[in-house]
Amino acid sequence: MDRQTALDRATRQFDSGAFLATLERRVAFRTESADPGRAGDLRAYLTDELVPDVERLGFTAQVVANPVSPGHPFLVAHRSEGAGRRVLTYGHGDVQPAHPEQWRAGLDPWRVVVEGDRWYGRGVADNKGQHTVNLVALEQVIAARGGRLGYDVTLLLDMGEESGSPGLAELCAQHRDELAADLLIGSDGPRVAADRPTVFLGTRGSVNVTFRVTARETAHHSGNWGGVLVNPAAVLAGALASLVDARGRLLVAGLRPDGVPAPVRAALRDIAVDQGPDSPQLDPGWGEPGLTPAERLYAWNTLEVLAMTAGDPDAPVNAIPPTARAHCQLRFVVGTDPARVGEVLRAHLDAAGFGAVQVEVEHAMAATRTDPEDPWVTWTLASIERSTGVVPALLPNLGGSLPNEPFAHVLGLPTVWVPHSYPGCAQHAPDEHLPTALVRESLALMAGLWWDLGEPGVPWPS
């Protein structure tokens, strides 16, 4: 058997309908990790679906209790040939809340619906479709090589990723030796565009922050007291304007990156922010001046106001509100310390005269980025181009956030992510879907990656 045979076997799984049948079975598990009532479904996805599947491929599989959140178990599975070389691969089986009433007529989040060149269903893109691509491609390479890969594989499947992956870092620390590897290959998030294979090396971090202004316990008539009582909404608006200006530029000196590193800028030179039919149109002039749209999205820090309120916007009355609050999110690149975000914001607001604004940091996820010049990156890009005939896009990090920190910082691995979705897939939203051409191509390129890792006599990148 040769490499092309492995790729052909993988794409035949798509052409025959076998891949779709597997995905239909997996989407039917209602694995909403945010719902405590779904704990049984989360465990069943592992015990009834994934464990038998990977054991058939020669893995020894174990459902491992979550050290922090008992309702979100993990699957840890090993396939060992004693090769002395090991890949760790990661995915997650939980999904966002389905909200079936919000899906358009004819669609059901728990059933894969085929419409033309699209598959619809909750999890087809995030993440059941993606980890199923990787496992089906791996199976075909094992078969094409006569039952051997030439290296060892560890699979880690998370059932709480959509709830922030509670316990993942602790699991990696507790099972450090068991999860040790030369490389992480994960699949999550979107490509830069549906028709361009993509590799990203980490993610921007995120910190959720709530700003509050509390002036008094009750509202007071605006005619009788306007002009002599502090209006919390006006104070909060001024505070937010001191953090980010009217064109989206981050103004907090301590939260601005020192610049865009040369390797990152070089990697982003040919990256265009997706402008497909399912994507919003970019707003010219928004964000950090002097940067390209790709640099603003992938290589800079942004502060977004997610929601804000004072009084009752749906039923306003002629009264000065007693309180105001805004929920914001900082997305940041490597070099920003999430542990210091609250401290930096507090100092900035105090210096600007907004000492009355409370700052509450609620959730933090660190930024990560494998060096774009790491030999594993060059190797991965070459393998994908060989399989697809397309020069893949290289993102130093994803614009969004994924739980890459446990792999990059706790286990100390080079991390390479190969996504099998696209920006318009509606993950986390109604009508989640995947283009069928993307699925077929992903099966081939993953078969190529799994095959190339086992090339006899070819050393792995150091």
- Check residue 460 and report its DSSP letter: P
Start-to-end CA distance of the chain, whole Å, equals: 28
Alpha-carbon span 198 to 66, nearest angstrom = 31
Alpha-carbon span 410 to 234, nearest angstrom = 44
Q: In terms of domains, do 175 and 193 share one?
A: yes
Predicted local distance difference test score (pLDDT) of residue 462: 78
CATH of the domain at 81: 3.40.630.10
CATH of the domain at 313: 3.30.70.360
Q: In terms of domains, do 341 and 422 share one?
A: no
Give domain status of residue 118, yes or no.
Answer: yes
Q: In terms of domains, do 54 and 143 share one?
A: yes
Residue 186's φ and ψ, nearest 5 degrees, are -120, 160
Alpha-carbon span 94 to 158, nearest angstrom = 7
Tokens of 297: 């999205």
Number of domains in the chain: 2
Q: In terms of domains, do 307 and 373 share one?
A: no
Structural domain boundaries, residue 344:
205-257+301-365
Predicted local distance difference test score (pLDDT) of residue 401: 84
Give domain status of residue 277, yes or no.
Answer: no
Give domain status of residue 29, yes or no.
Answer: yes
Alpha-carbon span 293 to 152, nearest angstrom = 40
Q: In terms of domains, do 80 and 183 share one?
A: yes
Q: Are 275 and 195 in contact (CB under 8 A)?
A: no
Q: In terms of domains, do 356 and 436 share one?
A: no
Strand partners, 363: 208
Q: In terms of domains, do 388 and 431 share one?
A: yes
Alpha-carbon span 369 to 24, nearest angstrom = 34
Alpha-carbon span 354 to 343, nearest angstrom = 14
Give domain status of residue 59, yes or no.
Answer: yes
Predicted local distance difference test score (pLDDT) of residue 363: 76
How would you write the pLDDT of the chain (462 residues) with one tens digit per residue?
Answer: 799 999 999 999 999 999 999 999 999 999 999 999 999 999 999 999 999 999 999 999 999 999 999 999 999 999 999 989 999 999 999 999 999 999 999 999 999 999 999 999 999 999 999 999 999 999 999 999 999 999 999 999 999 999 999 999 999 999 999 999 999 999 999 999 999 999 999 999 999 999 999 999 999 999 999 999 999 999 999 999 999 999 999 999 999 999 999 999 999 999 999 887 778 899 999 999 999 999 999 999 999 999 999 999 999 999 999 999 999 999 999 999 999 999 999 999 999 999 999 999 987 889 999 999 999 999 999 999 999 999 999 999 999 889 999 999 999 999 999 999 999 999 999 999 999 999 999 999 999 999 999 999 899 997
Strand partners, 76: 62, 156
Q: In terms of domains, do 15 and 51 share one?
A: yes
CA-closest candidate to residue 399, choices 282, 307, 290, 239: 282
CA-closest candidate to residue 376, choices 410, 407, 337: 407
Alpha-carbon span 138 to 143, nearest angstrom = 9
- Check residue 338 and report its DSSP letter: G
**Of the residues 365, 386, 401, which one is the last residue of a structural domain?**
365
**Of the residues 330, 365, 400, which one is the last residue of a structural domain?**
365
Q: In terms of domains, do 317 and 435 share one?
A: no
Give domain status of residue 271, yes or no.
Answer: no
Give domain status of residue 287, yes or no.
Answer: no
Helix H segments across 231-351?
232-243, 262-268, 293-298, 341-351
CB atoms within 10 A of CB 327: 16
Q: In terms of domains, do 339 and 427 share one?
A: no
**Of the residues 365, 396, 420, which one is the last residue of a structural domain?**
365
CA-closest candidate to residue 308, choices 287, 338, 329: 329
Give domain status of residue 459, yes or no.
Answer: no
Q: In terms of domains, do 28 and 145 share one?
A: yes
Q: Reply yes or no: is the peptide bond before residue 127 cis, omega within 30 of 0.
A: yes
Distances (CA, A) of 352 to 106, 149, 242: 54, 61, 7
Q: In terms of domains, do 376 and 424 share one?
A: yes
- Condensed to tens digits (0 to 9), the pLDDT of residues 271-312 reads 999 887 778 899 999 999 999 999 999 999 999 999 999 999
Give domain status of residue 295, yes or no.
Answer: no
Alpha-carbon span 113 to 41, nearest angstrom = 21
Alpha-carbon span 293 to 303, nearest angstrom = 16
Predicted local distance difference test score (pLDDT) of residue 155: 98
- Condensed to tens digits (0 to 9), the pLDDT of residues 209-242 reads 999 999 999 999 999 999 999 999 999 999 999 9
